[in-house]
């Protein structure tokens, strides 16, 4: 429940509230959801996480269709493994290094800063014909 509440219900609730204000304003807007490559591939012992991120991806597509009439575009970023304070210790260890070597063709984790460019693209006019899209940023992991 906690994973679904955080990764799916919170996205739905927050986005709905923000979009109501966008519609009232009447100037369109951009919504960028953060899902995960877990929306595209399954991992053992991660069923709640993968289901929540898959739901976020489908929510992105449904919202894109529902809100395009208001000129509101809804897209998602799907990161792979990103180095964060929560996982630094694991990925520095032997087990984490094995995961990196076995799963990520670029042989490293993404840095949080590497998500910024995609977010800027999706928030800018450069993405004016994108809605319901999912941009994968995973160092090639979903290619394998």
**Catalytic residue list:** 49
Q: In sequence order, what are the residues at sequence separation of 6 or more whose Cβ sits closer than 8 angstroms to the Cβ of residue 42?
A: 50
100/102 Cα distance (integer angstroms): 6
Give the list of residues 6+ apart from residue 105 with CB closer than 8 angstroms, or none. Answer: 139, 140, 141, 143, 144
Torsion 123-124-128-133 (CA) sign: negative
d(CA 34, CA 75): 9
């Amino acid at each position: 429940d906690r994973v679904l509440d955080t990764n799916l219900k919170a996205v739905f609730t927050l986005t709905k509230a923000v979009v109501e204000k966008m519609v009232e304003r009447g100037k369109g807007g951009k919504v960028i959801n953060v899902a995960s490559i877990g929306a595209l591939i399954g991992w053992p012992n991660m069923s709640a996480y993968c289901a929540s991120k898959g739901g976020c991806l489908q929510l992105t597509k449904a919202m894109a269709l529902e809100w395009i009439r208001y000129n509101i575009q809804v897209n998602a970023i799907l990161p792979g493994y990103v180095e964060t304070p929560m996982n630094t210790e694991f990925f520095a260890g032997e087990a984490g290094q094995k995961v990196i070597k076995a799963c990520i063709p670029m042989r490293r984790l993404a840095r949080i800063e590497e998500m910024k460019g995609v977010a800027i693209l999706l928030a800018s006019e450069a993405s004016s014909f994108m809605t319901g899209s999912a941009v994968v940023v995973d160092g090639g992991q979903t290619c394998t």
